[in-house]
Structure 1
Amino acid sequence: MGNEAALLPQDSFARRLLTGSVKKSYDPVVDLDWDAPLDPEKLFLPPEVISLFGTELWESLTPAQRRELSRQELANVLSVGIWFENLLNRLLLRELMNSDPTSRHSHYTLTEMGDECRHMMMFGKVIDRIEARPYWPNAGGRVLISSLQIFLRGSMVWVGALVGEEIFDAVQRRTLDDPELQPLVARAMRIHVTEEARHIGFARDALARRRGTMSKAELAYTRLCVAVAAPLFVYLLTNQHMYTRAGLDGRAARRIARQNPYAKQMLGAGAANLAAFLDKQGLIGPVGKAIWRRRGLMA
């Protein structure tokens, strides 16, 4: 792979990630036991990460209702993950058009895209295995999601990657090794967490390197997009249709979930490392901080 000393700094980092990918990567088709029966008593998400946990509405639910809500919330989270990774691959593919195809940076970008393709398939198979339906955007939503690639350029490719990956990753880490969780879900989350750790490191490194060359206009635009990302993320995680499918009043349940102080505390804990990193890079302005705090994503 060439002389390490001759590599550019970003290529040196990418080379280490490539080595890690060779040592520990997964194929969900063969690395998960898709034929194992689901436990009729176990939840699909830990109670503490379910959006209604800690509310009076949660306390009023029967065990069967809680299990169904956890199933629908998992299907929604995985659906959002599929949308995001679809968009991220489009952004990364565009980045490759302006990159040296012989560089380690480009090679790891391609490796990450392969990971994301397998993750999308894994998420889709999990949704199917738990006998849920995906939460797919309507025609207008698909146009909106697709149009994001027009606006996410330069530093925003990496900001978008981190917002989608780090907060989602924090939620997943709470599912690992939980004895009360469906084993299939715990295994899928462990695979995703292992590979996403490399993706997060890649995005952080790329963003930190770009920060020093940002113009004032790019910095202002990036701060605006960071501020907008917070309410969008919370909106996607509290999809009213998942509450309706769980047999609840969708509008009322979504309102309770968004006002739930415990849910905000969980989101804040999940976003803490990302918020600290973005703040250190100067990418969260005063308006962004206020919005992130109001949405529970920043202390």
Structure 2
Amino acid sequence: MCPQATPPGTTADPTTAGATTAGATTAGATTAGDPDDTEFRALLDRLSDKATADYYNPFTTFDWPTTIPTDALWMSPELLSVHGTEIMDELSPAQLRALSRWESVNFYSLNVHGIRELLIEVTRRIHTPGFELPSTFFHHFVGEENDHMWFFATFCLKYADKIYPDKSVKLPEAPRDPDIENFLVFARILVFEQIVDHYNVHLAADDRLHPTIRHINRLHHQDESRHIAFGCRLVQLLWERLLRGGLDEAARHDLRTYLDRYVAISIGSFYNPAVYRDAGIPSGFALRNRLLAHPARQAAHARVLHKTTGFLRRIGVFDA
């Protein structure tokens, strides 16, 4: 979870406190007159040290079984897209197990596509003006995300013989202003990582699932906890930079609308008609629309998003 911002006049632990003063003019470069970046540096050092201490070789860490039984759960029932609705009660145990299998594969496929996007965006910014300070941590970030993409893709191909294609609706192009573009890139990355981590935590702890599934999610959460701590700090710094630059209300509204749309698209990607088809459930597109509008699913979305929306409200991006 993103840390709370430090109240004015208090002294924060630089490894856990919110970024209210650190590195405020850019995400990393410090020039004459910039606020002190000691807190941000301390966080980056701590996260880099932790990444080094936690390092594992993904190519030797996993003992991939030949198969994962298809008559067992692959996804926690509480995380299925039908959970809490009358539709779940209408499905047979065999259909629910099939749905858990294909929604599991869809989840890892979403990770493959999301990681590909964030790797492109982060590597474009390593060792560029404005990102001097976090660039060392970016190297840890990129290496770990590349490992994640490999083991998620390996799971899909080994046990389902496919990766679901990316069918999400594309967002409009972000504004050309580099400060706004940087903010939106890292805000999207943070939203994506926090949604995924909600699932990782539950799946890693669910002893109804195969050990390989739990292992993948446990390792991913271990790394993502660092990425999220970094992302919260960086997004706040980039937002504060926009505010100091005179971001007007119309521009703020456009940013909120853009991020609202991204959140909706991200949540909608968990309702995949191809998954329903593969699970033997008819009328996948109609079912998707029915589920997305269901009150129980709306409540589930709020639970998945509460850390993200809470953080964006707290720093002033979303309205209270």
TM-score, normalized by the shorter chain, greater than 0.5? yes
Matched ranges for 1:120-131 at <5 A: 120-131=149-160
Matched ranges for 1:13-92 at <5 A: 13-35=43-65, 37-92=67-122
Q: Structure 1 residues 104 and 15 mapped into 2: Cα distance closer, same or farther (>3 Å)?
A: farther
Q: Provide the C-alpha distance between the structure 2 equivalents of 1:211 and 1:146, rounded to a whole number of angstroms.
A: 20
Deviates more, 1:168-177 or 1:257-266: 257-266
Q: How many residues align?
A: 277
Q: Structure 1 residues 262 and 186 mapped into 2: Cα distance closer, same or farther (>3 Å)?
A: farther
Q: Provide the C-alpha distance between the structure 2 equivalents of 1:45 and 1:261, rounded to a whole number of angstroms.
A: 22
Q: Given the alignment of the two structures, is residue 259 of structure 1 paired with residue 290 of structure 2, yes or no?
A: no
- For 1:94, the equivalent position in structure 2 comes to 124
Q: Work out which of the residue numbers 229, 236, 240 in structure 1 matches 2:273.
A: 240
Q: Is the 8 A contact 1:89 1:113 kept in 2?
A: yes
Q: Provide the C-alpha distance between the structure 1 equivalents of 2:65 and 2:156, rounded to a whole number of angstroms.
A: 14
- For 1:155, the equivalent position in structure 2 comes to 183
- For 1:133, the equivalent position in structure 2 comes to 162
Matched AA of 1:137: D
- For 1:189, the equivalent position in structure 2 comes to 217
Q: Provide the C-alpha distance between the structure 1 equivalents of 2:286 and 2:102, rounded to a whole number of angstroms.
A: 16
Q: Is the 8 A contact 1:87 1:149 kept in 2?
A: no
- Residue 60 (structure 1) shift: 2.2
- For 2:13, the equivalent position in structure 1 comes to none
Percent identity (aligned): 22
Flag as ranges the 4+ runs of structure 1 deviating above 4 A.
Answer: 144-152
- For 2:33, the equivalent position in structure 1 comes to none
Q: Provide the C-alpha distance between the structure 2 equivalents of 1:120 and 1:68, rounded to a whole number of angstroms.
A: 24
- For 2:259, the equivalent position in structure 1 comes to 226
List gaps (5 residues or longer) in structure 1: 1-5, 287-299
Q: Structure 1 residues 44 and 150 mapped into 2: Cα distance closer, same or farther (>3 Å)?
A: farther
Q: Provide the C-alpha distance between the structure 2 equivalents of 1:160 and 1:248, rounded to a whole number of angstroms.
A: 32
Give a deviation string over 1:61-98, Cα, whole Å, max 9, x none.
Answer: 22221111111111111111111111111111122252
Q: Provide the C-alpha distance between the structure 1 equivalents of 2:279 and 2:68, rounded to a whole number of angstroms.
A: 18
Matched ranges for 1:108-127 at <5 A: 108-127=137-156
Give a deviation string over 1:191-227, Cα, whole Å, max 9, x none.
Answer: 1001001111111111112222213156444322212
Q: TM-score, normalised by structure 1?
A: 0.84
Q: Which has the higher helix share?
A: 1
- Residue 136 (structure 1) shift: 0.9
List gaps (5 residues or longer) in structure 2: 1-35
Q: Is the 8 A contact 1:87 1:146 kept in 2?
A: no
- For 2:230, the equivalent position in structure 1 comes to 202
Q: Is the 8 A contact 1:155 1:222 kept in 2?
A: no
- Residue 37 (structure 1) shift: 4.3
Give a deviation string over 1:99-140, Cα, whole Å, max 9, x none.
Answer: 478x551011111011111111111011123225211136xx
Q: Provide the C-alpha distance between the structure 2 equivalents of 1:263 and 1:128, rounded to a whole number of angstroms.
A: 29
Matched AA of 1:208: Q
Matched AA of 1:277: F
SS in 2 for 1:68: helix
Q: Is the 8 A contact 2:127 2:135 kept in 1?
A: no
Q: Structure 1 residues 27 and 251 mapped into 2: Cα distance closer, same or farther (>3 Å)?
A: same
Q: TM-score, normalised by structure 2?
A: 0.78
Q: Structure 1 residues 224 and 118 mapped into 2: Cα distance closer, same or farther (>3 Å)?
A: same
Q: Work out which of the residue numbers 247, 250, 254 in structure 2 matches 1:216.
A: 247
Deviates more, 1:52-61 or 1:228-237: 52-61
Q: Structure 1 residues 200 and 175 mapped into 2: Cα distance closer, same or farther (>3 Å)?
A: same
- For 2:41, the equivalent position in structure 1 comes to 11
Q: Is the 8 A contact 1:99 1:106 kept in 2?
A: no
Q: Is the 8 A contact 1:49 1:171 kept in 2?
A: yes
Q: Structure 1 residues 268 and 46 mapped into 2: Cα distance closer, same or farther (>3 Å)?
A: same
Q: Provide the C-alpha distance between the structure 2 equivalents of 1:128 and 1:149, rounded to a whole number of angstroms.
A: 37
